[in-house]
Structure 1
Amino acid sequence: MVTVSPCAADDPELLPLVEAMNVEIVALYEMGPDARLYSLGPDARYLLARREGRPVGCCAVRPARGTDGTAGGALAGIWELNRVFVARSGRRTGVAAGMLAHAEEFVRQLGGVALRLETGDRQPNAMRLYERAGYLRIPNYPPHEHTARSRCYEKNLRPLPGPDIPAQSGFAESRPTESSPTEPAS
């Protein structure tokens, strides 16, 4: 059984997963031995997935940034999903899909209305996972708008319009689909 729960950015169970993800991404994108992923900042909220009590995956969410790098403003209610990683021992077991669903609910509880993310073109399993979960490709957003390898996605977390719910514009509309057994590296 997989459980997903919030954890601190310096949680000793989280840090080895973040380091493993960094090593994998640096190698995948041939970034050089000293390359490091950028810091998410103090407003990031981390989630840790455990299977049978052992940490097997992690992700983070944070308020989306505007072109000036600050959260809020016109982007109020939009959150960004970062650092999605599943250890090799947890891949193809539904851990990533479960973590993604938990992250979406977590953001809804924080008042979020949309969740966006950036992944890379060398991560087809990640792209399939997001697409199967109802994420739609969107134009690359800052700071990824000039990065050719970036692939950005967004999902509306609000209830879909129905007979008693008026449509609202401004976010990619998506419907949930089957979750994927594939696991992303980021």
Structure 2
Amino acid sequence: MPQHPAPVTVSIEPPRQPEVERLLDGSTAFAESLYPPESNFLLDIATLERPEVSLYVARDGGRAVGIAALVADASAARGELKRMFVDSDARGRGVAAALLERIEADASARGLIEIVLETGDLHDAAQALYTRHGYREIPQFGQYVGEAHSVCFAKPLAAEEQAFPPAQNVR
């Protein structure tokens, strides 16, 4: 009987591990290759360790192949997606989608009603990914306002159609 590879798993993990630090370094190098320093808004390891931040690690066969962080803002009932990155040799295999699905499920379970994010204007693949997963482009927010390279997106986690059934005509 042929063996099928294990599916990608996603879990919350600490950032201070060699495999995760390798992905963070790859993310930083990629961003720095495209944008000037003032246009990069990357969270450092100390920030990723804060209580309001959850770092998600995607693993394929035990090997870390992708990361993303969710920064929860409980007062606004929303979270910001940060540091989304997939190893170049794991792209095109659903790793980013698995990260998004897990983060969205966890955020919804925590009572967050929206996820927002910022990506760069040269990140065409990232913009396409977010659009495919129901994110819509929004005006720049927070520290990204006025940033020439920033493109911002948002996704509501509980659509009105899901929360309330369609109205019925009653006579």
Aligned to 1:117, the other structure's residue is in SS state strand
1:139 aligns with 2:144: no
More helix per residue: 1 or 2? 2
Which position in structure 2 is the counterpart of 1:12? 18
After TM superposition, give the deviation of residue 49 of structure 1 in Å.
Answer: 0.2
Which position in structure 2 is the counterpart of 1:160? 160
Q: Tell me the TM-score normalised to structure 2 length.
A: 0.83
After TM superposition, give the deviation of residue 61 of structure 1 in Å.
Answer: 0.2
Aligned to 2:160, the other structure's residue is in SS state coil
Q: CA RMSD in A?
A: 2.3
Rounded to whole Å, the distance in 1 between the matches of 2:142 and 2:121 is 17
Rounded to whole Å, the distance in 2 between the matches of 1:160 and 1:36 is 32
Q: How many residues align?
A: 156
Which position in structure 2 is the counterpart of 1:28? 34
Q: Structure 1 pair 113/162, CA: closer, same or farther in 2 (3 Å)?
A: closer
Identity of aligned residues (%): 32
- Correspondence list, 1:89-108, <5 A: 89-108=89-108
Q: Structure 1 pair 29/159, CA: closer, same or farther in 2 (3 Å)?
A: same
Q: Is the 8 A contact 1:63 1:78 kept in 2?
A: yes
Instruction: Name stretches of at least 5 consecutive residues in structure 2 with no aligned partner.
Output: 1-6, 167-171
Q: Is the 8 A contact 2:43 2:82 kept in 1?
A: no
Q: Structure 1 pair 23/108, CA: closer, same or farther in 2 (3 Å)?
A: same
Higher relative CO (CA 8 A, sep ≥ 6), structure 1 or 2? Answer: 1
Instruction: Name stretches of at least 5 consecutive residues in structure 1 with no aligned partner.
Output: 65-71, 167-186
1:37 aligns with 2:30: no
Q: Is the 8 A contact 1:22 1:36 kept in 2?
A: no
